[in-house]
Amino acid sequence: MSNQRYEADVVVIGGGVTGCAVARELSRYELKVWLLERTEDVCSGTSKANSAIIHAGYDAAAGSVMAKMNVEGNRLMDQLAADLDIPFRRNGSMVLCFSEEDMPGLQELYVRGVTNGVPGLRIISGDEARRMEPNLTDEVVAALYAPTGGIVCPFNMTIALAENACENGVEFHFLTEVTEIRKCGEGYELSVRETGERTNVPASDSRKAEFGDGADMSGETAADLQEAAASENSVVRTLTTRFVVNAAGVYADRFHNMVSRRRISITPRKGAYCLLDQEAGRHVDKTIFQLPGKYGKGVLVTPTIHGNLLIGPTAADIGDKEGTYTTAEELAEVTAKSARGVKDIPYRQVITSFAGLRAHEAGHEFILGEPEDAPGFFDAAGIESPGLSSAPAIGAYLAKMIAEKAGALVKEHFIATRKGIPHVAAMDRESRAALIAERPDYGTIVCRCENVSEGEIVDSIRRPLGARSLDGIKRRVRQGMGRCQAGFCTPRTMEILSRETGIPMEKICKNQPGSEMITGEI
C-alpha cells in the first residue's frame, strides 16, 4: 500500500536496536518506512552501552510481555545471526546463589524460567558450577544454568538490522529530531528539527549499495552534509505519516505523552561497566549473574563476543537522560560486586569503562502497541533489559500488527540476508591472502591491537548507512577498541574517513557534531 495523503506510511522514531528491528521487519511489507534518528548514526544510545548479552528469559515475570518477547527473541537469534551475519554465540549463563537461605529464590527463578518456556534450565550445585567455571568463588552454593543464554555484538546487531532495512527500502534520516507530534486525520503530523542533513535513501539499484562497490551518498557529498550539520541554523519542518513507531529509548515517554493522555514516565536507570583486555577474556566462559536483588540483576561477569571480559552494570536512577557519565563510586561498586561470584578478576587489565542508560518504566514492563487513545501510534517503550534480546521479537510483533492494520502486502522481493564486513584477521590464511590479492587495502593494518585493516575501515564508510564518525567506524569494525584505545590508529583513521567522504579533517568527529577531534591546522 502507499497512501498518497501521507509522506510516509510509517515513521519509526529512534535508530536503536528496537527501532532498527521494527524497521527491518516493516521492510518485509509494501510500506514506505522512514526511520528518524536524532544522532548521526544508528546504535548511539542505550543500544551501544549495555551487557551485550542475549538473555535466556527466566528473569521476567511469568506471563509478561517482557517474558514472551525475551524468550521469542532469544529463539529467533540463531536465524537472525545467520541471515544478517551477526557475531553471536550461545555461551550459556549462570545465576549464582551464595547461601542456602537464598535457594528458594533460585528455585523461583527456575520455575519462572520453565513457565516462560526457557529450554534446558537446570539447578546445579556449587561444585558442579565450579567444574564448569573454575574461577567461581567458594561462596557459590548453587546456580541456575541456562544453556540458551548468549553473547552478541550489539553494535553489529543494530547496524546489521539497519543496513538490511535500508537495503529493503527503509529511508534513514539522521540528525533529525522529532519535536512535536500531532494527530492529523487518521495519521500524524510530526515537526522535526534537522540539525544536519544525513539521509540514506536506498539506492535505486540495490546492488550498488553492496559490499565493496563504492559509496552511495545519494547525490550529496558527505562534506555538504557535515557542513549542514555544523551550522547553527537547524531546519524545522513537518512531515506526515499514517503510523508512528515510538522506539525512542529513554525519550519514549516524551513522544508517547504527546499523543496519549495515559501518560508514561521513563526514568534513565544508569548502569556502569568496566571492560577488560582480551587477555582476561577467558576468565569465564559463561555469562555469570548473581541472584537478582532490588535493582535488576546486580553485577554480571561475562566474556564478550569479541573476547574481552565485561563486568557490570550498576543501577541508579538519574534525572538526566543524557547522563552517560561514570563515577568513581560506580566503578568501585562494579569491582567490588563482581568479585563476590568470580575470583581473581584481573582488574589491572581494564581498558575502558562506560555507562549506559536503561529506559526504565515504572511497571518494569515493555509497552508495546497502540495506546487506547492514540490509534496508529505504536509504542515500543520501556525497553530496558532484556531489550536487546527481545528486539527481534518486538520487531516482528509490531511490524505484523502495523502491516495488518495498514492492509499492507508482503513484499515480493524482500532481501532476507546481509553480508557483514569481512573480519580479515579472523580468516584462515588462504582466504585472507586471496582477499588481499583482490583488495590490497585489506593488507594494511591500521588498528594493530584489533588487527583492523584499512580495507575494513573503508568498507565501514562505504556501506549503506556507512560510518561518518570515528565511533561509527569503531562500532562497525572495532578499530580503536583494543588495548591502546585508538592511541596509534586515530590519526590514520581520521585521514581515511576524510579521504573517503570528503569531510575536512577539522570536521571529523568522534561521534555527534560538536565532538570534533581537532581545532585547526598549525
Partner 1 sequence: MKHHDIVIVGGGPAGLAAAVAARKAGISDILILERDNVLGGILNQCIHNGFGLHTFKEELTGPEYAARYIAQMEEEKIPYRLNTIVVDITRNREVTYINREEGLVTIRAGAVILAMGCRERPRGALNTPGYRPAGIYSAGTAQRLMNIEGYLVGKEAVILGSGDIGLIMARRMTLEGAKVKVVAEIMPYSGGLKRNIVQCLDDYGIPLKLSHTVVDIHGKERLTGVTIAEVDANKNPIPGTEEYYSCDTLLLSVGLIPENELSKGAGISLNRVTSGPNVNDRLETEAEGIYACGNVLHVHDLVDFVSQEAALAGENAAEFVKRKASQAEADAAADGEKRKNAATAGERAAEDGERKKTVTASDTEEDAQPTHADRRGHANVIPLIAADGVRYTVPQFLETDGMRDSVTVRFRVADVYRDRYISVYYDDQLISRKKKKVLAPGEMEQVVLTKKSLAEYPRTERITIRTEVE
Regarding 448 and contact with partner 1 (CB under 8 A), the answer is yes
Figure out which of the listed residues 158, 267, 304, 490 binds partner 1, where binding follows CB under 8 A. Answer: 490
Closest CA to 109 of 293, 285, 360: 293
Least CB distance to partner 1 at residue 10 (A): 31
With respect to partner 1, which residue has the nearer C-beta, 408 or 481? 481
Distances (CA, A) of 268 to 154, 323, 382: 19, 8, 10
Q: How many residues bind partner 1 (CB under 8 A)?
A: 55
Figure out which of the listed residues 42, 228, 473, 509 binds partner 1, where binding follows CB under 8 A. Answer: 509
Least CB distance to partner 1 at residue 281 (A): 14
Regarding 425 and contact with partner 1 (CB under 8 A), the answer is yes
Closest CA to 248 of 367, 166, 353: 367
Q: Write the binding mask 323 to 352 for partner 1: x where contact by CB under 8 A, - elsewhere.
A: -xxxxx-xx------------------xxx
With respect to partner 1, which residue has the nearer C-beta, 342 or 509? 509
Reported in sequence order, the residue ranges of 133-224 that DSSP labels E, i.e. its strands, are: 142-146, 150-152, 171-184, 187-200
Element (H, E) at 335: helix 328-341
With respect to partner 1, which residue has the nearer C-beta, 202 or 455? 455
Q: Write the binding mask 204 to 223 for partner 1: x where contact by CB under 8 A, - elsewhere.
A: --------------------
Regarding 522 and contact with partner 1 (CB under 8 A), the answer is yes
With respect to partner 1, which residue has the nearer C-beta, 101 or 521? 521
Least CB distance to partner 1 at residue 496 (A): 13
CB distance 151 to 53 below 8 Å: yes
Regarding 491 and contact with partner 1 (CB under 8 A), the answer is yes
What's the grid cell of residue 221? 557529498
Bridge-based pairing state of the strands 377-381 and 235-246: parallel
What are residue 88's DSSP bridge partners? 152
Regarding 444 and contact with partner 1 (CB under 8 A), the answer is yes
Buried b (16+ CB within 10 A) or exposed e, 109-121: bbebbeebbbeeb
Q: How far apart are CA 156 and CA 421, in angstroms?
A: 10
Figure out which of the listed residues 98, 211, 295, 488 binds partner 1, where binding follows CB under 8 A. Answer: 488
Bridge-based pairing state of the strands 8-13 and 33-36: parallel
Site for partner 1 in 261-290 (CB under 8 A): 274-275
- Burial class (CB within 10 angstroms; exposed 0-12, middle 13-18, buried 19+) of 492: middle
Q: Is 413 a catalytic residue?
A: no
Residues engaged in binding partner 1 (CB under 8 A): 274-275, 322, 324-328, 330-331, 350-354, 425, 429, 432-433, 436-437, 440-445, 448-449, 451, 483-488, 490-491, 495, 505-506, 509-522
- As annotated, the active-site residues are 55
